[in-house]
Every structure is written in C-alpha cells, then in structure tokens.
Amino acid sequence: MKYLSLLLAVIISPFISGQDKPAYKLFTGEGKKADYGDMVKEALKADVVFFGELHDNPISHWLELELTKSLFEGKGKDLILAAEMFETDNQLIIDEYFAGFFKESSFESEVRKWNNYATDYKPLLNFAKDNGLKFVASNVPRHYASMVASGGFEVLDKVSDEGKKFIAPLPIEYDPELPCYKEMLSMGGGPMGHASENLPKAQSMKDATMANSIVKYRQPGQTVIHFNGSYHSDRYMGIIWYLNKYSPGLKIVTITTILQDDVEKMGDEGRGQADFVIVVPTAMTRTYK
C-alpha cells in the first residue's frame, strides 16, 4: 500500500502542480520579485501614486480597488482618488453626486462614462463616495483633445476663458523629443502609416491637464492615487514630466501592468517602466472588447 501511494503521488503531482496558474506576479522595476505588501508600503510613503492600467485588464482593475482600500487604511481622509477616465468639466457633477444632490441613476445619465465604467470605475467612485473621499476628474475634456489633434495647440487660442479653466495653464510646454511623444509619431493612423504630428500634442495636453488637476486638489500630507492608462506614466514620463514641473520634489511611486506568456520572470519589456510592474498572463480574459 505504501508503494502504491508513493507511485500515485509521483503520477499525480505534475497534474496538481500544473493547476497552479497565478493571475499575476509582482516585480520591481529592476525585475526583482516583490509582493503586494511591498507595493503598499512604498505607496503609503508617496505624495502621488500612479497606477498604470491596461484598460481592459481585470487584474489591473481589481488591484486598483484593493490598493485603494489598503491606502485608505493607512491614510484615511488624507487619501484622494483621481482618474483619467473622468474629465475636468465633469468635476461639479461628481461633487454634487457625492453631496447627495441627486440619485445614482441621474448621475450616470449625465456624466460621460467609459464603456467599462460599471465594472471597472464605478467601484472606485463608490468607494470614494462611501468613505467621504475626494474623487478628482483629472483629464481634459475630450473635445479639446480632438481640437488639438486636428489643429495643433494654436486652436486653443479660440477657447473662451471659461473653457480654459478645464485645461492646464496655457501655453502648454511641449517637448517633441520626449520618447513617449516621439514614439507616437511612428504609430499608424496617418499618411504613410505615421500618426499626425498633432497627435502627441493632444496626448501632452491630456498629460499636462492631469498633472495640473493633481496639483490643484492635493494638499500637503495627502496622497493622491491616480488611475490612468499605463502609457501616461510609464518610464516616469507623460503626466509625471508635467507634475515635476508644476510641483517639483513630490514623492512619486509608479505602477504599471504588462502582459506576458510566462509570468514567473519579468521580461525586458517591463524593466525601468515603473517602480512596480504587475505581470499578467497574456491569456487573461478582458473586461471589454
């Protein structure tokens, strides 16, 4: 019987170990293994935490909410949530909704929502509301981004003083040599397979406005956790480049999300992208398509 039990264990063990399919692994930017507690510890020391997500990735969204809960345990009312997914001209309606002026159904019918709002961003918004936290709509209104993508920064001269309140201070400083913007020019979408030279300008206006929103609402001693597509904060560029200009000296912690077939070891793609890299299996299901 002992021999039979041992034989069965040898036969079955590969199948048992094969069932261990981690949903993600966490690494430092240098590729060293880390754990959730390491990330929370560093995030609690930060003035601003950038959580770079893949918009359709459920692990990103789950960890965004979990990290928010952990930061709230440590920071309490000194925690502020901010998100690319809401635009600055929707700030008033968010504030009024949080103040109880109207029902959730009315709020959701008026605020501009992303396709995956209900599953991925509503939980964050409601966590802030339920716990009396500020939620900042940080991104530039999309019609201004579209204007710049078509006509460059010059079109902003036509915007009214009221409209300019929803945009980062003008003129927006722009460095076309920053890799995050320079690389956009080689992306498809324009003549000969190249993007318009105005596309990275629109991206920079978004980054500048999100950075300005963080500075506008954050007070000393507070921690802002900002949710955005990873490209906006990867390699400490994008929003962070502007944040360092608007409010130099802030303690910043960055998180990014990447996909790999094998999550046990971080590949070269993730190195230097952020302080913490969430590696998710390529086969992970999506929250929307």
pTM above 0.85, yes or no: yes
- CA-wise closest residue to 204 among 224, 181, 183, 185: 181
**Cα separation of the two ends of the chain:** 53
Domain made up of 24-281: CATH architecture: 3-Layer(aba) Sandwich (3.40)
Residue 111: the pLDDT is 96
Mean of the pLDDT values across residues 177-203?
Answer: 79
- The pair of structure tokens assigned to 277 is 């890299």
Indicate whether 188 pLDDT > 70: no
Residue 252: the pLDDT is 98
Mean of the pLDDT values across residues 265-269?
Answer: 93
Q: Which residue has the higher pLDDT, 288 or 70?
A: 70
How does residue 29 score in pLDDT terms, banded at 50, 70 and 90?
A: very high
Q: What is the pLDDT of residues 102-111, one digit of tens each?
A: 999 999 999 9
Mean of the pLDDT values across residues 122-126?
Answer: 98
The percent of residues in the chain predicted with pLDDT above 90, rounded, is 87
How does residue 16 score in pLDDT terms, banded at 50, 70 and 90?
A: very low
- CA-wise closest residue to 252 among 82, 51, 67, 69: 51
In the block, residue with structure tokens 């716990």 = 131
The percent of residues in the chain predicted with pLDDT above 70, rounded, is 91
**208: helix, strand or coil:** helix
Indicate whether 36 pLDDT > 80: yes
Residue 28 · residue 270 · CB < 8 Å: no
Residue 142: the pLDDT is 97
Helix (H) or strand (E) holding 227: strand 223-229
* Distant-in-sequence contacts of 257-263, Cβ < 8 A, 24+ apart: 257/52, 257/53, 257/54, 257/57, 257/59, 257/60, 257/230, 258/54, 258/230, 259/54, 259/57, 259/284, 263/22, 263/24, 263/25
Left (φ > 0), alpha (ψ -120 to 50) or beta: where does 265 sit? beta
- The pair of structure tokens assigned to 229 is 């597509």
How does residue 21 score in pLDDT terms, banded at 50, 70 and 90?
A: confident
Bridge partners (DSSP) listed for residue 81: 135, 225
Residue 256 · residue 274 · CB < 8 Å: yes
Q: What angle do CA 187, 155, 112 make, to 5 degrees?
A: 70
Residue 4: the pLDDT is 40
Residue 180 · residue 186 · CB < 8 Å: no
Residue 185: the pLDDT is 87
- The pair of structure tokens assigned to 190 is 């324009």
Q: How far apart are CA 12 and CA 152, in angstroms?
A: 63
Mean of the pLDDT values across residues 259-283?
Answer: 96
Q: How far apart are CA 27 and CA 274, in angstroms?
A: 10
What average pLDDT does the structure give for the chain?
92
How does residue 190 score in pLDDT terms, banded at 50, 70 and 90?
A: very low
How does residue 195 score in pLDDT terms, banded at 50, 70 and 90?
A: low
Residue 5: the pLDDT is 47
Looking at 121-135, 173-187, 222-236, which range is the least confident one?
173-187
Looking at 79-88, 144-153, 190-199, which range is the least confident one?
190-199
